[in-house]
Copies of this chain bind each other. A is one copy, B any other.
Amino acid sequence: MTKTPEDRRLELLQGTLDMLILRTLQWGPQHGHGIGQAIRQQSDELLKVETGSLYPALHRLVKRGWLKAEWGTSEANQRAKYYRLTAAGRAQLLRERDRWEQLVRAIGLVMNPAPGEESRG
């Protein structure tokens, strides 16, 4: 069976969206739609961020002081809210990246234990 791009799409796990938004904004300020697009494109079309998750996440990140929102004009010459990373947001991104890498490593230890570690003695 070949998978269509639609089938290949993955649901993001709770907690990873914030990290991806912060990461995307390291490349410069962006409006909400652009953030969603960037995540989709950078992930080779695997990650699709639903609007219903994206905007609440942006709102939450602004509230925590990790992003700042300001009005600007999009490429299509329309007014749009642009988000940019604050210094606190940069620090948070480092923490979330660290946590994610640890989680991947820890899960890897369970999923693929070193040879000889599987037996129960």
Contact = CB atoms under 8 A, between A and B. Distances in A.
A47 B10 contact: no
B102 A10 contact: yes
Interface of A is mostly: helix
A106 B120 CA distance: 34
Nearest to A109: B43
Contact of A106 (B27, B47, B102): B47
Nearest to A45: B106
A11 B15 CA distance: 10
A39 interface: yes
A13 to B, nearest CB: 4
Residue from A11, A23, A44, A107 with most neighbouring chain B CB atoms (10 Å): A107
A69 B107 CA distance: 25
B20 A110 contact: yes
A12 to B, nearest CB: 8
21 contacts: A8-B102, A11-B15, A12-B103, A13-B15, A14-B14, A14-B15, A20-B107, A20-B110, A20-B111, A23-B111, A27-B119, A28-B120, A42-B109, A43-B109, A46-B102, A46-B105, A46-B109, A47-B107, A47-B110, A100-B107, A104-B104
